[in-house]
Amino acid sequence: MGATERVKEFIDRKGITRYKFCQQLGFSNKFLDNSSNMGTDKAGKILHYYPDLNAEWLLTGNGNMLKINALTEEDIHYNQKKEAEDGNFNIPLYDIRAAEGIKDLLGKNKNQIPLEYIGIPKITDCDGALYIAGDSMYPLLRNGDILAFKKINNPENIIWGEMYLIYISKDGDDFFFTRYIQQSDQDSFVRLVPQNQNYQPVEFPMSSVKAVALVKASIRINSQF
């Protein structure tokens, strides 16, 4: 796909007619009929007129159509769907430091902006990825690893024994865990099991589970060189 084809995709996404687009920028009505790559002068004019358009995407096809700081939640979902259709599974990566941010990210995610997008081969249907803190899942996971996750809308759909990100709120206290989730011997409780033998399993009422996401993949960066 050339740059002109990507312009067509962009204006279709924005709901702009091709006639209006050409009229706004002073281009010939036949400009979009040319499938060859456009010149730098026209590309520069388009990027100036539409500051939310990602220059790298326009010129090379890499990255997202829109700049990250211009993305709405609808845009993010559109990009994820389009990338999945193209076989390029780019996943939004977040850096969350507070419990409220975790709750929002694993819930409706209205306020979290991704740092960047990452790709993991042969993985589909991820809602996002984040950096983890702590060593409760060591040596399988360690502080600073990246986990890709899929949100579970109904905690009753938890698959026992799988690894999850789980947000707990109980008696006014908030907790965020990365744990295996097992069924408890107590009725209506869940058992959270660490990998690190220095940590003990804990149990919480199912009613205290406010958000949960299945861990689908992990990434470890061993060196920056």
Residues 142, 222: contact at Cβ < 8 Å?
Answer: no
Pick the closest to residue 205 from 163, 170, 172 (CA basis). Answer: 170
Q: In terms of pTM, does the model score above 0.75?
A: no
Distances 11 to 8, 30, 34, 137 between C-alpha atoms, Å: 5, 15, 16, 46
Place 216 in a pLDDT band, splitting at 50, 70 and 90.
very high
What domains can you pick out in the chain, each with its CATH number? 3-70 (1.10.260.40), 92-219 (2.10.109.10)
Q: Classify the phi-psi angles of 6: left when phi > 0, otherwise alpha if psi is within -120 to 50, otherwise beta.
A: alpha
Sign of CA dihedral 176, 180, 183, 185: negative
Residues 61, 1: contact at Cβ < 8 Å?
Answer: yes
What local confidence, expressed as pLDDT, does residue 115 receive? Answer: 82
What local confidence, expressed as pLDDT, does residue 131 receive? Answer: 92
What local confidence, expressed as pLDDT, does residue 183 receive? Answer: 92
Mean pLDDT, the chain, rounded, equals 84
Q: Which two tokens stand for residue 190?
A: 């869940």
> Cβ–Cβ contacts within 10 Å for residue 77, how many?
12
Sign of CA dihedral 42, 44, 50, 56: positive
Beta strand extents in the chain (DSSP E only):
90-94, 116-119, 128-131, 146-152, 163-170, 173-183, 189-193, 202-205, 209-219
Distances 63 to 37, 39, 209 between C-alpha atoms, Å: 18, 21, 35
Q: Mind listing the pLDDT tens digit for each residue in 152-181? A: 988 888 999 999 999 999 898 889 999 999
What local confidence, expressed as pLDDT, does residue 78 receive? Answer: 61
User: What is the C-alpha to C-alpha distance for residues 194 and 202, in angstroms, rounded to an integer?
Assistant: 9
Q: Which of 11-20, 41-50, 94-103, 143-152 has the lowest mean pLDDT?
A: 94-103
Q: Mind listing the pLDDT tens digit for each residue in 70-118? A: 555 556 556 555 555 554 557 889 988 776 788 788 887 777 888 888 8
